[in-house]
Structure 1
Amino acid sequence: MASLFPLQVTTASPQPNEYFTKSRQGINSVDGILGAIVDCSSRVGKEERIAMEMAIEDLYKKRNQRFILHLKCSHNEPLHAATAARNLIKRKHVQAILGLRTWEELSAVNDVCKQSNVPILSFADSGSSWVTENWPFLIQASPRTYKQMKAVAAMIQSWGWHRVNVIYEDSGSMANEIIPHLYEALQEGDAKISNLVPLPSFANSSLLHEKLRKLKREQCRVFVLHTSLSLAARVFEKAKEMKMMEKDYVWITTDSTMSLVHSVNPSLISSMQGVLGVRSYFTATGQDFSDFDTRFQDKFSQKYPEEKNHEPGIFALQAYDAIWIVGLAMQEGNMKSNQILEKIAAVEFNGLSGKIQFKERKLAPANQFQIINIIGKSYRELGFWSDGLGFSKLINTAPRYNFSMQILGGIFWPGATSTVPRGWDFPTISNPLRIGVPNGSLTDFFVKVEYHSSTSTYSFSGFSLEVFEKTVSGLKYFLPYKFIPYGGNYTDLVMQVQLKKFDAAVGDIAIISQRYEYVEFTHSHTEAGLVMVVPIQSDSTRTWLFIKPFTVTMWLLAAFVNIYNGFVVWTIERHYRSELGGPILNQIGTLLWLAFSTLFSSNGEKLHSNLSRIATIVWLFVAIILMQSYTASLTSMLTVQRLEPNIKDIEILKSTNAFIGYSHRSFVKDYLEKVLGFHPNNLQKISSTQEYAEAFRSGKIAVAFLEAPEAKVFVAQHCKTFTIAGPRYHVGGYGFAFPKGSPLLPDIDKALLNVLETGVVKNLEDDLIASQKCIDIDSVNEFVRLCPQSFFGLFIITGSTSTVALGIYYFCSKSETENSMPEPKGIWMLIIMVLKILRYQRKRFVRKVSDAESPRNSANTSHFRPQV
């Protein structure tokens, strides 16, 4: 069995003679005795040892302070660390203990130091407030790095990844202090942890294979690795062997691995190609660092020739600064423990690892980290991330910051590609997504499933399916899928998605809280809300209803015949009544008055000519028939029975115990009962939009509660009979269902928002709504409107009578009119001229007929052609 202390090193100031002389005089001959506990078998412990020895030398050279350093190795075992601390305190009489990188070691050593009041300068990342409150002799000598998890989350958010797998080393220092911060940072970045995989520090090849094989079966391809370098090396080697370091994979490592990337061997580098990492930032410039770097590499190569890389990392710088912290605190010589503790807490200077300033015995958390990318035989420094600012190419002097990693330039990804991985993949990409579609939607508008028996196949159409197709076509990658009909109810359908019998469900699926227990939904692609559909009243109150009994042609013909009869009466009566003459405007007004006054009075006592009386009597007879027909038709329209009262308040429904229709496949029934307070006995389930209309007409229901999208379609199909009334209750909306944690969901959501914002969905909805033909008939149109064909005979009689009367008047009284009446003017002269021409042509025609019938012309009868 190995010795408990396989390595024990005592280091003093580099003047051997002087040191040995003073050491014989006792511990008061030196400025202090320090102890250190490190894992000497690890690269971190090796760097810390060399750095501490250099710090002891530099304190003597630069400040003439002499310290003795007793260093012991813990092999990363808490029990060894506690035993080493007890030995340093009891036998070496150390005044402070440095080191202790893990929480477990620190916890074990604290119990020992607490009994002796010996301060501990710990390098462990365990700076919770309760630690310093309960451990009064603890000094956190390295800044906490929990903010690196914000950098990791920023990297994930920058590339639009929403799911990650976290692999971490199952130790207190790894899990308890870092994982909660990673979880919180990812949530702020709109990302979630798909799998949280703990690995023991001693994980062997078979265990790693089992864990990675399970992760490979999942869709998520983004991995965050938070382990020690030794465990990380085994993980990457196994991942490469399992082809998980290829295209479409993403690997991000944290400071615990990347701060030692300068020391990894070529074989490990070859297994980490394309890995992104976050590591603690320190200034690798300036004369002080240059001198330290040169001396460190020389000493490290001599001490550890087996190591191939000799560069110092952040752990070496922190160990060097820790010795200086104690040296500056004890510059007044030997002091008691409580004095040392107070002095250490007051130390302030700029060290190689950064600014050293304590607050409540803790260094301020690190706010800046370096982003690196493994490529080729080494790594490339991409840039920096600063808390609250984002990414930048340069630190502090950067001209600008950005929350996108694209500012850092091109990145080398796993699989030797520069194309940004999408962060997820199908376990078997050749299999398309299985999309469940409801077979039996309330209306064919949203989902229509048809079975073709000739080919034993299904065809799918409808608004919701078209929106899904438009959404998928907007993705940045090809996504194969196929629709599969499902005959159960909608809640059962989403449960099938939870059970992974379907990869998603698409259709008129309402987004309700109950279904969120099984799946996650995209944004709604329809209006959200529950509305009340009611029958509308007959359109009997319209302003222009009085013109409905007659067609337009009928109105025009009646007006023309009326004016024509007025013209005939006016023409005949002008000879007897001087008041019918005068200026042209006066004559026109008199003509129109005569035309319309005959509809209400025969004017028999005022008419002087029997011809005008005859024309008026006939027209009055026709007018009476027209008015009676008009009155009967208008009365029928005004007294038509209403379909249903126009209900606008649900309280009326409750008080009258009215029956209410609802979709039997919807959540509406529960809402009507539990929220709106309707009695269950008054609720009638309806299966289709056609059944709704029949239920209304039969009186089975008084109103119906429909989801807003269905109501819009129903009202479009029954535009003359039903309408939406009352308030809108904000529930539901239709969405696409995906399994919880599906990496597809964020991409689908983004693509859906794009088609919504660009108006694609609105145009699609408008086109489909416009295609819905109104199957109702206007209640007014149910009555036959009166047209000229119904009264054609009457118009012929009155028109012929008036024309004959007018002709008789002109032909019988021509001579008298020419001798006694003044010469007509204007339009009337034109009318008289036309009549004269017609009379002349008639006489000429009669004369030719007479000549043709005489014996003299009988031989030419067959060649006679009358001229008109």
Structure 2
Amino acid sequence: MSELATAENRTVVKVNVGVVVDYDRLVGRMGLSCIRMALSEFYESRSYFNTRLDLHPRDSKSDVVEAASADLIKNVQAQAIIGSITSTQANFIVDLGEKAQVPIISYSAACPSLNIRSSYFFRATENAASQVKAISSMVKAFGWKQAVPIYTNDAYGEGLIPYLTDALLEVDAHVPYRSVISNSDQVGEELRKLMTMQTRVFILHTNDSLGTRVFAEAKKIGMMGKGYVWIVTNGMTNLLSSIEPSVVRSMNGVLGIKTYVPETKGVKDFRKKWKREFKDELNVFGLWAYDAAKALAIAVEEVAKSGKFGFKRANVEGNYSTDLDTFGVSYNGQELHNALSNVAFKGLAGDFKMVKGQLRSSTYEIINIVNNSNNGLEIKGVGFWTPRNGLARNLSSPQIVSKDYSTSKNNLGPILWPGESNPQTENAPKGWEIPIKGQKLKVGVPVRGGFKEFVDVKFLPNNRTNVTGYCIDIFKAVMKALPYTVDYEFVPFVNSSHQSNGTYDDLVYQVYLKNFDAVVGDTTIRANRSLYVDFTLPYTDSGVKMIVPVKDKGNKNAWVFLKPLTWDLWMTSACFFIFIGFIVWVLEHRINEEFRGPPLHQIGTSCWFSFSTLVFAHRERVISNLTRLVISIWVFVVLILTQSYTASLTSLLTVQQLQPTVTNVSQLIKNGDNVGYLEASFVYGILKSLGFNDSQIKVYKSIQELHDAFSNYTSAHDGIAAAFDENPYIELFLRKHCSEYSMIEPTFKTDDVSRAILQVIEGTKLKDIESKWFGPEKRCPDPNTQVSSNSLGLESFWGLFLIVGVSSFFALAIHAVIFFHGQRDVITSSTPAEASTWDRICVICKVFDQKDLSSHTFKKSTTDQVLQGQGNGGVHGIVPPEVLAYTSSQPISPSSSHYSNHTEFNFVVFSSEQDQSSPEHHGNLDQAPPATALSDVQNQEARDTNSS
């Protein structure tokens, strides 16, 4: 390192930096110029820096790049190497940097694997793998299912393909072929090979020189016409501004992924300055070179604060100027590595921040090359792709704000496709095409007499046919939905007499013999057929089911009214009626005369009150608010229960009860009943394996024959008792006779699984295995075969009963707390200290059975006795002393809600001669009487109750 003296007597350290560029390529020349401009502008604005980068350029021609790099490290002692190092050239240089601990900075090497090889390699450009998500998003947006990558046979081309393949697989698109081009002479041969394939979506990942040759040849042989899709990566789109316009015109309709650089003020100013000094068009590689040089200058200044620059020489003998063993190790290589990793600033190409030795993924612009006679050549932006939001029409769209990831083509602008004249988005190429013209797909169809709804073949004059039906419409819809065009023709499987030429097995086997390319019809996927042909996914439910007649088994017995509810619901309801009666008695009998009296009377009243809620005919007035709470909830439950019972009983008495005449196959075999199957169907083999004799198996050919066979069934075994057929035929039959027949389990499977599984599940083996591990099959009623309602069970109402029970116990608990709190003195005084537990319980029961004289209901009844002159000492309206003593203990107010109707009582008290003589006595009514007076009244009341 050299030192220079400045005007301020300050020492400036010159740090050697190697610059490896290809002078023959625009990227190299532009990069070197941008590096020099960057350092000039940087140090001009930061004259106080103590370091200056001293550039040592070297030409990176492929034959001398290794020697040039070794010379920079060994002889020049470069502390870092920066340049337009390609992915292929970087392999050797990366090893040199790792050995000497010298950072290698490339603004053009995009191979994803380079950072893995060395921690001293810094990619001041984008990783090529970061654009594969943008490509796969476009493939998904337009529904292309296949894509062929075209790439060069080098590190740059091969490094991207694994990432691209994985990204395409994530969007359900696969790579049927990989086109590798070693040199330009191979381009024509490879493109002609691609023309013979079905895929029409091509992803080009080459450098600009080879890419232009590919498009020139593609235009020449007709691969830039309608139906083709070309997508190019940013290795070529970033250089479009420097490619000859005549070459770009051959790329009309091409889509490209281009690195997006915001047009900031700094970028605009630098472009103006560049155009003043150079004739070439500035591209993103120049901006990356500018930012890389600036970052290196910042890092070197940071390292210079803590140490000197230089190399530690290797301890070896001899003079081996290019031997790796003779290289020294940079003193500050690790510090410079760390400083570069920490540099962060707003660069010309965007945010500059190294993450694990490379720039973070940025936004890509999706461009469309348009060449028309009106506007000439135009590179038009049709959208953007960001790692967080996916496809977007512009970077200020609502989707960007909402952070939603999108792969919708609606987020892209109109696109001009190859061979088209007007830009459009909706009618995009399908991406797939049969390359050989004039050859149609031969599709075999069955010919049969019955069930023409599936396939109906009509023979017309001049050897023409008209094929229609459900299966045919499905096939046509599928062909129309495919992302490519398929020419096909239907060929009936018939003999010279226009009759069926064999069974369905024979028809399927024709595909194996290559007489047909495909077969369409009511063809079932079976194990034996899958041995020699492949099946698509089934578009109807597969399997064989049994169909039987149904008969009305309506409820006509005298006890049908019990059926709406199950026995457990009946019992639970009855118990809750008794329980609610008990709760009402507990809460009411101390304060309500209607719930008092002899024990039998109390039991009868409580039960009558509870059960009368069924018809809402309860007339006993309840007084306690807790009782009202319980009764309100209980009445709601009773309302739901009665309404549900009424609805279920109505259904049982009015709706027709249709039930199958036969419920399982064993019943048919045991009774020796006849069964039917469709002619030429494989179901015959299933019936034989189930144990039916040939005499029991009957054949039918159409829906009408099947219906007639059921109608002719008698005890003499004429007709059939059940029919076995594939699920689609059964459903068709039930559509015409929905109220007369029913499907019965089990289903004999014929799904398209592996051959081994098919062989197992088509017979009874699967049922045996299920019975072994899961137990015998329970007979669960099929909801589709019974239109009547099942009995209502406790499981539908236990929640309501739970609410009633909890609320009842809650009210009972509150009542108990109030009782024990109010009567604790009476219970304590009435129970000796040495009394047993049973004696204490008896005392509590006796106290609980007494009237609650503090209740306003008994105050009213006592007052009524006074008004009527009843009771001892009540003559001439004189209030008995004990009554006066008790009543005066309670405040009496006309405004009280409890006594608003008892104003006459106040008048009687005040009208006595004693009260009139002393006005001051009025105030004594609010004073509490002596405790002995209240106790005497209570004792007298208790004695009256016991005597009654």
TM-score, L = length of structure 2:
0.54
- Provide Cα deviations, 1:30-51, integer angstroms capped at 9, x if missing partner: 4311123334333322322222
Alpha-carbon distance, 1:416 to partner: 3.9
1:769-784 pair list within 5 angstroms: none
- C-alpha separation in 1, matches of 2:28 and 2:687: 70
1:607: which partner in 2?
A: none
2:297 pairs with 1:327: yes
1:506: which partner in 2?
A: 520
1:466: which partner in 2?
A: 473
- C-alpha separation in 2, matches of 1:446 and 1:51: 73
> One-letter code of the match for 2:53?
F
1:179: which partner in 2?
A: 161
Provide the alpha-carbon RMSD of the alignment.
Answer: 4.7
> One-letter code of the match for 2:271?
D
2:442 pairs with 1:445: no
CA separation of 1:208 and 1:126: change in aligned 2, threshold 3 A: closer
- C-alpha separation in 2, matches of 1:715 and 1:672: 21
2:308 pairs with 1:294: no
1:729-808 pair list within 5 angstroms: 732=751
1:314: which partner in 2?
A: 284
1:362: which partner in 2?
A: 358
Contact persistence 1:385–1:391 (CA under 8 A):
yes
Alpha-carbon distance, 1:235 to partner: 0.8
- C-alpha separation in 1, matches of 2:59 and 2:507: 62
CA separation of 1:116 and 1:714: change in aligned 2, threshold 3 A: same
2:110 pairs with 1:125: yes
> One-letter code of the match for 1:366?
S
Contact persistence 2:444–2:516 (CA under 8 A):
yes
- Provide Cα deviations, 1:764-792, integer angstroms capped at 9, x if missing partner: xxxxxxxxxxxxxxxxxxxxxxxxxxxxx
1:104: which partner in 2?
A: 88
- Provide Cα deviations, 1:207-260, integer angstroms capped at 9, x if missing partner: 322322232233332222122111111110011001111223221211111111
- C-alpha separation in 2, matches of 1:99 and 1:686: 87
1:209-288 pair list within 5 angstroms: 209-286=188-265, 288=266
1:465-614 pair list within 5 angstroms: 465-469=472-476, 481-486=488-493, 505-510=519-524, 521=536, 525-526=539-540, 528-536=541-549
CA separation of 1:413 and 1:322: change in aligned 2, threshold 3 A: same
CA separation of 1:515 and 1:345: change in aligned 2, threshold 3 A: farther
- Provide Cα deviations, 1:169-199, integer angstroms capped at 9, x if missing partner: 23233233x2233333333334333433222
Contact persistence 1:165–1:196 (CA under 8 A):
yes
- C-alpha separation in 2, matches of 1:533 and 1:465: 26
1:67: which partner in 2?
A: 53
- Provide Cα deviations, 1:261-306, integer angstroms capped at 9, x if missing partner: 11110221121111111101112331x22332233334443xxxxx
Aligned-partner SS, 2:81:
strand
Contact persistence 1:52–1:319 (CA under 8 A):
yes
CA separation of 1:541 and 1:217: change in aligned 2, threshold 3 A: same
Q: Percent identity?
A: 29
- Provide Cα deviations, 1:698-756, integer angstroms capped at 9, x if missing partner: 8999966533112223556888996421145776499xxxxxxxxxxxxxxxxxxxxxx
CA separation of 1:727 and 1:313: change in aligned 2, threshold 3 A: farther
Contact persistence 1:534–1:647 (CA under 8 A):
no
2:334 pairs with 1:338: yes
The equivalent position to 2:69 in structure 1, one of 76, 82, 85, is: 85
- C-alpha separation in 2, matches of 1:185 and 1:719: 51
- C-alpha separation in 2, matches of 1:294 and 1:684: 97
- C-alpha separation in 1, matches of 2:27 and 2:531: 48
2:205 pairs with 1:192: no
- Provide Cα deviations, 1:544-566, integer angstroms capped at 9, x if missing partner: 9xxxxxxxxxxxxxxxxxxxxxx
1:853: which partner in 2?
A: none
Contact persistence 1:436–1:505 (CA under 8 A):
yes
2:418: which partner in 1?
A: 414
Alpha-carbon distance, 1:369 to partner: 3.3
1:31: which partner in 2?
A: 14
Instruction: Compare 179-188 and 231-240 and name the one that shifted more.
Output: 179-188
Contact persistence 2:95–2:118 (CA under 8 A):
no
- C-alpha separation in 2, matches of 1:127 and 1:373: 27
- C-alpha separation in 2, matches of 1:679 and 1:38: 86
> One-letter code of the match for 1:162?
K
2:444 pairs with 1:436: yes
Instruction: Compare 706-715 and 469-478 and name the one that shifted more.
Output: 469-478
Contact persistence 2:509–2:532 (CA under 8 A):
no
Contact persistence 1:433–1:480 (CA under 8 A):
yes
2:35: which partner in 1?
A: 52
Higher relative contact order, structure no. (Cα contacts within 8 Å, ≥ 6 residues apart): 1
> One-letter code of the match for 1:224?
I
Give 5+ residue unaligned stretches, structure 1: 1-11, 13-18, 302-309, 545-644, 735-868
Aligned-partner SS, 1:464:
helix
- Provide Cα deviations, 1:289-331, integer angstroms capped at 9, x if missing partner: 2332233334443xxxxxxxx2211111111111111110011
> One-letter code of the match for 1:713?
L
The equivalent position to 2:744 in structure 1, one of 725, 728, 735, is: 725
- Provide Cα deviations, 1:580-605, integer angstroms capped at 9, x if missing partner: xxxxxxxxxxxxxxxxxxxxxxxxxx
> One-letter code of the match for 2:125?
S
CA separation of 1:118 and 1:391: change in aligned 2, threshold 3 A: same
Contact persistence 1:373–1:411 (CA under 8 A):
no
- C-alpha separation in 1, matches of 2:34 and 2:690: 80
Contact persistence 2:512–2:532 (CA under 8 A):
no
- C-alpha separation in 1, matches of 2:101 and 2:510: 63
- C-alpha separation in 2, matches of 1:70 and 1:146: 32
Contact persistence 1:497–1:519 (CA under 8 A):
no
CA separation of 1:380 and 1:173: change in aligned 2, threshold 3 A: same
CA separation of 1:69 and 1:665: change in aligned 2, threshold 3 A: farther
TM-score, L = length of structure 1:
0.58
- C-alpha separation in 2, matches of 1:683 and 1:147: 72
- C-alpha separation in 2, matches of 1:704 and 1:62: 95
- C-alpha separation in 2, matches of 1:107 and 1:684: 81
Instruction: Compare 375-384 and 336-345 and name the one that shifted more.
Output: 375-384
Aligned-partner SS, 2:175:
strand
Aligned-partner SS, 1:195:
coil
2:332 pairs with 1:353: no
- C-alpha separation in 1, matches of 2:202 and 2:85: 25
Contact persistence 1:491–1:515 (CA under 8 A):
no
Alpha-carbon distance, 1:154 to partner: 2.3
> One-letter code of the match for 2:455?
V
CA separation of 1:389 and 1:681: change in aligned 2, threshold 3 A: farther
CA separation of 1:90 and 1:477: change in aligned 2, threshold 3 A: closer
- C-alpha separation in 2, matches of 1:656 and 1:474: 51
Contact persistence 2:669–2:692 (CA under 8 A):
no
The number of residue pairs the alignment matches comes to 590
CA separation of 1:683 and 1:346: change in aligned 2, threshold 3 A: farther
